[in-house]
Amino acid sequence: MATRTRRSQRRTEALSRQRIVEAAVQLLDAAGEGGLTFRALTERLATGPGAIYWHVANKSELLDAAADAVVAAAVALKPAEPPGAPPGEIRAVALGLFDAIDEHPWLATQLAMQLSRSPWGSVTTRIFESIGQRVRALGVPDGNLFTATSALVHYILGAVGQNAANTRVDGLHVDRGEFLDAVSTAWEELDPDDYPFTRAVVDQVREHDDREQFLAGIDFVLTGITALHLPSGQACTPPAA
């Protein structure tokens, strides 16, 4: 009996929650949310369902844990990477989330769901804390911190979510260049009298870089925060290239 207990403990320790979450992320990356089943997970980990249920109660908890693990890695800044000033760190965190959702397309849906259904959860609070600390470091008054941070977070999640959606159709990856070319070609055929602006920016749509456009949006929001809430003379200028 003692031997059986020790073996069970060793199996539980070997099959850690971290290993389960890592395997879940791999399944989500390969086949999306539909591909994450406990049966697929047990096959990947070469274990029984009971060992997995020891660590996670259900698929919902597993999705939350997978999203949290990816987000935690995305917002963790390495000391030598970003510029020390808060604007540079905000851009680095935002770009980390952009790249994470680009690499893990399923994450966009999970973030949107968690932001609306459980804003008290670890994923939402982790993102708000990471951005909010740096907004405070900018010198934004306490009474405006929530609004300024919310504007940044909503822009980040909305933009990266849209970018992820534009790279996949019916769950299949779409070449970004081909997608932009198709959009531009369709816009070129619009009536110039009804859509003068849309026709005028066709070439910009076809040739733009998603990451550069995303960071430009961050700069727009930071410039607005500077103008509204920071003492005159302070600016959130982009770091030198």
Q: What is the largest distance, in Å, between two alpha-carbon atoms of the chain?
A: 84
Burial of 32 (0-12, 13-18, 19+ CB in 10 A): middle
The stretch 135-155 carries a mean pLDDT of 93
Would 237 be classed as within a structural domain? no
Would 12 be classed as within a structural domain? yes
Q: Domain check: are 132 and 159 in the same one?
A: yes
State the DSSP code for 189. T
Structure tokens at 241: 């290239």
The pLDDT assigned to 169 comes to 55
Would 29 be classed as within a structural domain? yes
Q: Domain check: are 164 and 145 in the same one?
A: yes
SS3 call for 221:
helix
Q: Domain check: are 135 and 69 in the same one?
A: yes
The pLDDT assigned to 7 comes to 43
The pLDDT confidence band at residue 10, using thresholds 50, 70 and 90, is: very low
Name the average pLDDT for the chain.
83
Q: For residue 174, what are the CA distances in angstroms to 105, 124, 163, 207?
A: 12, 28, 11, 17
Structure tokens at 46: 């070469």
Q: Domain check: are 102 and 7 in the same one?
A: no
Structure tokens at 87: 């604007």
Would 238 be classed as within a structural domain? no
The stretch 131-157 carries a mean pLDDT of 93
For residues 87 and 96, is the Cβ–Cβ distance under 8 A?
no
Q: Domain check: are 111 and 222 in the same one?
A: yes
Return the CA Rg of the chain: 22
The stretch 13-27 carries a mean pLDDT of 87
Q: Domain check: are 8 and 86 in the same one?
A: no
The pLDDT confidence band at residue 105, using thresholds 50, 70 and 90, is: confident
Within 10 angstroms of residue 108's Cβ, the number of other Cβ atoms is 22
Would 18 be classed as within a structural domain? yes
Q: Which domain holds residue 23?
A: 1-56
Position 13 pLDDT exceeds 90: no
CATH classification of the domain holding 3? 1.10.10.60
Q: Where a domain ends, among 36, 56, 76?
A: 56
Which run of H or E residues covers position 120? none
Q: Where a domain ends, among 17, 34, 56?
A: 56
Query: Nearest 5°: CA angle at 77, between 218 and 94?
Result: 20
The pLDDT assigned to 115 comes to 77
What residue spans of 76-121 are helical by DSSP H?
86-103, 106-117
Would 193 be classed as within a structural domain? no
Would 144 be classed as within a structural domain? yes
The span from the CA of 65 to the CA of 162, in Å, is 23
Position 17 pLDDT exceeds 80: yes
Position 76 pLDDT exceeds 50: yes
The pLDDT assigned to 158 comes to 87
CATH classification of the domain holding 219? 1.10.357.10
Share of the chain above pLDDT 90, in %: 47
Q: Domain check: are 15 and 84 in the same one?
A: no
Among 141, 150, 152, CA closest to 89: 152
The pLDDT assigned to 178 comes to 82
Q: Domain check: are 76 and 52 in the same one?
A: no
> 44-54 pLDDT, tens per residue?
998 888 888 89
> 54-74 pLDDT, tens per residue?
999 899 999 999 999 999 999
Q: Domain check: are 31 and 119 in the same one?
A: no
> 83-103 pLDDT, tens per residue?
558 899 999 999 999 999 888
> 148-197 pLDDT, tens per residue?
999 999 999 888 888 777 666 555 566 777 888 888 999 999 999 999 99
The pLDDT assigned to 240 comes to 46
Would 167 be classed as within a structural domain? yes
For residues 155 and 221, is the Cβ–Cβ distance under 8 A?
yes
Q: Domain check: are 105 and 223 in the same one?
A: yes
The pLDDT confidence band at residue 238, using thresholds 50, 70 and 90, is: low
Q: Domain check: are 87 and 143 in the same one?
A: yes
> 108-128 pLDDT, tens per residue?
888 888 777 777 888 889 999
Q: Where a domain ends, among 39, 56, 73?
A: 56
